[in-house]
Amino acid sequence: MKKILFLSVNYPPMLTAGSARASRFVVKLPELGWAPLVVAPADIAWDEDGKTRAMSESSEFNGIYRTGELVDAAMFGSERSALLLQGLSAHPGTASPFRRITGMLSGVNLVSGWEKRALSVVTEIIQRHDSVDAIYAQGPPEASLVLALELSEKHGVPVLFDLVAPLDRTASQGARPSDLAKIEERVLTSGHTIMVPTRALKEYFLKKYFGKATHDDIWIVQDFCYGQGDVKSGAKHDSVESVSVTILLETVSVKEMKLFMSIFAGFMHHEGSLSGRSGIRFIGGDGEAVAKYARKYMPQTSCLWGPRCNTDEELACIRRSDLFVVVLGQHESSMLVLPDRVVDALCMKKKVVIIGPDGPAAQVAREAGGFSASLHDSSAVVQALNSSFDDRQGMDGKAVLPDRLSASGALRDLSKILAYMLPV
């Protein structure tokens, strides 16, 4: 079996773009004859069972090499842990406020930890396995891409770059947009193999690097479902309260959130069938703003909010909901990428309502039998919500999984890419 060095700062437990995609590739690569050696960020444990699981999953025996010690979420709390999983810095909840303010106590950052220790971990892997046949590097952030270029030059190994978003449009600690733009161009024009998850992102790069990158330089490998494992992860969380609506806020500004909640309140007011149910759970976004506008627009409705910090609980909420709504802000990424949780919901055969730009998420939602509307068209939003609820009440409430999200298609494309990189 060939060995592929798998560099991903986004690998679980991270909840950054590309996390679920990286995890799915690692599960499926052995079926293609490749053994992934994963250089992953430090893991987070929420309880004792989580600590036991993390210790067993992250070891040389299964090819997962962590760049930091196991983080105990109990020391940080859910909101600070959420910051860690979004690639930001956080201090333990027990730390002295004075020491945090004066800078005497440095915060924990899983991305910075990966950047500092990845090279030493890679060196250990190569020494243990003598060599690797190829390198997979996912970005953004840029650290894994730069490291892959350096390793390829040193060891003469081909690289498969997996770009899940534009590099120079993402927030990166300590990096200027101009530096990120140079790294992105260096990757796109490196001569190594490039793949992206959506056609929209491929077209974005081709237009941006016209004359420097061609159609044949960039491959598309869609995100995919790989079986029951996609939906089982939340099954043990029976304690998660059933809710009638789960709303995921993705790259949504406070202004956009206010607009959505005012429209949604009108929908709730006229949709008598939703009254008396368990309520609404918001995931992600600004918790204070969610609470503020929930009190203003839906004072009689039970609204819960939680930060993005636990994949299992998010999946459990989606499964138990009558409606799953994803609100996308007017951010460039909304027109280029497909959020992980949209794929997860479709893998559960859940129909999705996308409120936001008409990008990959809205297109695949409609393709699966769901609904979409622009946030700035209030009547269209209400119509989409009404249609989804009416559809859920009927006999045809399950989504039809698009063929392009099947594992067979994605793995066929990935197999072609790997063969192209290492011809027999």
Residue 61 CB burial class (10 angstroms; 0-12, 13-18, ≥19): exposed
* Token pair 């990757």 in the structure block, residue: 187
Residue 268: predicted pLDDT: 82
Residue 273, classed as helix, strand or coil, is: helix
Pure H helices in 94-217: 97-102, 110-129, 143-155, 177-188, 199-208
Residue 47 has pLDDT above 80, yes or no: no
Residue 293: predicted pLDDT: 95
pTM for this predicted structure = 0.88
CA 292 to centroid of chain Cα atoms: 27
Q: Kindly indicate the confidence band of residue 54, based on its pLDDT and cuts at 50, 70 and 90.
A: low
Look up residue 246 and give its two tokens. Answer: 């789960």
Residue 376 has pLDDT above 90, yes or no: yes
Residue 410: predicted pLDDT: 92
Choose among 406, 322, 320: nearest CA to 364.
406
Residue 99: predicted pLDDT: 45
Residue 233 has pLDDT above 50, yes or no: no
Residue 184: predicted pLDDT: 95
Residue 41: predicted pLDDT: 95
Residue 98 has pLDDT above 70, yes or no: no
Choose among 140, 160, 143: nearest CA to 336.
140
Tens of pLDDT, residue by residue over 148-186, are 999 999 999 999 999 999 987 665 666 788 899 999 999
- What is the percent of the chain with per-residue pLDDT over 90, rounded to a whole number? 58
Burial 361-387 (b: 16+ CB within 10 A, else e): bbbbbbbbbbbbbbbeebebbbebbee
Tens of pLDDT, residue by residue over 117-134, are 999 999 999 998 888 999
Least confident of 75-79, 102-106, 141-145, 345-349: 102-106
* Average pLDDT of the chain to the nearest whole number: 86
Residue 226: predicted pLDDT: 73
Residue 4: predicted pLDDT: 96
Residue 103: predicted pLDDT: 46
Sheet containing 303-306, strands listed edge to edge, beginning at the edge strand earlier in sequence? 303-306, 280-283, 245-250, 323-328, 353-355, 371-373
Tens of pLDDT, residue by residue over 185-222, are 999 999 999 999 999 999 999 999 999 999 999 999 99
Residue 238 has pLDDT above 60, yes or no: no
Residue 90 has pLDDT above 70, yes or no: yes
Average pLDDT, stretch 236-254? 73
Residue 57: predicted pLDDT: 64
Tell me the C-alpha to C-alpha distance, in Å, between residue 45 and each of 18, 42, 95, 237, 369: 21, 10, 19, 15, 37
Backbone angles phi, psi at 48, to 5 degrees: -65, -40
Residue 421 has pLDDT above 60, yes or no: yes
Q: Assign 3-class secondary structure to 101-126.
A: HHCCCCCECHHHHHHHHHHHHHHHHH
* Token pair 């859940």 in the structure block, residue: 350
Average pLDDT, stretch 342-352? 92
Residue 100 has pLDDT above 70, yes or no: no
Tens of pLDDT, residue by residue over 289-312, are 999 999 999 888 889 998 888 888
Q: Kindly indicate the confidence band of residue 229, based on its pLDDT and cuts at 50, 70 and 90.
A: very low
Residue 235: predicted pLDDT: 38
Residue 101: predicted pLDDT: 44
E runs forming strands in 192-301: 193-196, 218-220, 245-250, 280-283
Within a 10 A sphere around the Cβ of 129, how many other Cβ atoms? 14
Tens of pLDDT, residue by residue over 351-367, are 999 999 999 999 999 99
Residue 300 CB burial class (10 angstroms; 0-12, 13-18, ≥19): exposed
Q: Kindly indicate the confidence band of residue 52, based on its pLDDT and cuts at 50, 70 and 90.
A: low
